[in-house]
Amino acid sequence: MPELPEVETVRRGLTPAMRGVRIEKAEVNRPDLRWPFPEGMAGRLTGQRVEQLRRRSKYILADLSSGETLLIHLGMSGRMLVSGDPLGQFVYDHPAPEKHDHVVLHMENGARITFNDPRRFGAMDLMPTQGAEHHKLLSVLGPEPLGNDFHEAHLIEAFRGKMSPVKSALLDQRIVAGLGNIYVCEALYRAKIRPTRKAGRISALRVAGLVPIIRAVLSEAIEAGGSSLRDFRQADGELGYFQHSFDVYGREGAPCRTPDCPGVIGRIVQSGRSSFFCAQCQR
C-alpha cells in the first residue's frame, strides 16, 4: 500500500495539471471501490474548479470551488495518472481506456486524470471542505510526521507506558499519521532500535531521536519519488526509486550496511507484516 512519500509524490505530480483548473467532465465507471461512491459524484465534480490539492496522512484532498472536497485513497494498487497536459509537464498522450479506469477527470486545460485500481481497494468520497478534518477517516489521525505537531515531547508522551512493540506503535495512525511498514523499518534501523522493543521501555532520549530520523527518511523518500515495489507509479507513470536506497526493507539475508557490523538483515513477522532489521546493531 502506498505510504506517505508515495501519496505526497502523486499529489505533487497532480498539482500542475489540476490546481486552479476546472473539471470539464467527470466520468465514474462503476458504483463503488472499497465502498460506494457518494451519490451523484460525477455531476458534483463536473464543472468545479480544483482550488488546491492537499495531503493528510495517506489521503489526497482536492478542495473544489463548490465548497466540497474530494478525498482520494489509492488503496493497494490505485494509480492517479496524468496524460495530455498542455503545459508540457507530462509527455504522455492520452492512452487508450483500460478495464480498471474507474474514475476519469477531463480537465479544461486538456489534461486527463485517470484513477486506475485493479484490486479496487482504493476509495473516493466527497465532503464539505469546511470541517473536513472531522470526516470519519481524518478525525482519528495523529500529527503529520513532517509537520510542527510531531515533535519529541509528543512521541515521548505517546510511548509512555506503552507495552506494544515500537514497530506497532509507529504504525498506529493515532500516534503519527502516514507511516507504513517500509519507512518504519528504515527509521528503526537508523535509530538502532529493534522493532520488537516495547515502546514504553525505550529511553526518552532514544524516542526523541526517532523524530528527526523519521523526518529524514520520509523527506529522502519523497525526493526519490517514493518506492515502487509492485503497483506504485508517479502521476506521470514513472516509477519511484527510493527502493534502491533501502537499508533493511526486503533485504533478508543481505549484509548489514552499518560499517564494521558483521550482521545480516533478518526478517520476522509482526501482526501479519514483515519486519526487517539487523539483530547485531538494533537493540
Residue 149 · residue 90 · CB < 8 Å = no
Point out the catalytic residue in the list 25, 206, 257, 273: 273
Q: Is 2 a catalytic residue?
A: yes
For residue 124, which of 33, 21, 24, 9 has the smallest C-alpha distance? 33
d(CA 13, CA 8): 9
Instruction: Name the catalytic one among 56, 58, 190, 251.
Output: 58
User: Residue 255 is placed in which grid cell?
Assistant: 549484509
152 is catalytic: no
Distances (CA, A) of 1 to 38, 74, 166, 182, 241: 23, 8, 20, 10, 16
Q: Is 31 a catalytic residue?
A: no
Q: Sign of the CA dihedral 173, 176, 177, 183?
A: negative
Q: Is 174 marked active-site?
A: no
Which of 207, 218, 217 lies closest to 152, judged by CA?
207
Sheet strand arrangement including 50-56: 50-56, 59-64, 68-73, 123-128
Report how far residue 236's alpha carbon sits from residue 16's, in angstroms, rounded to the nearest whole number. 11
Q: What distance in Å separates the CA atoms of residue 255 and residue 265, rounded to the nearest whole number?
A: 6
Catalytic residue set: 2-3, 58, 273
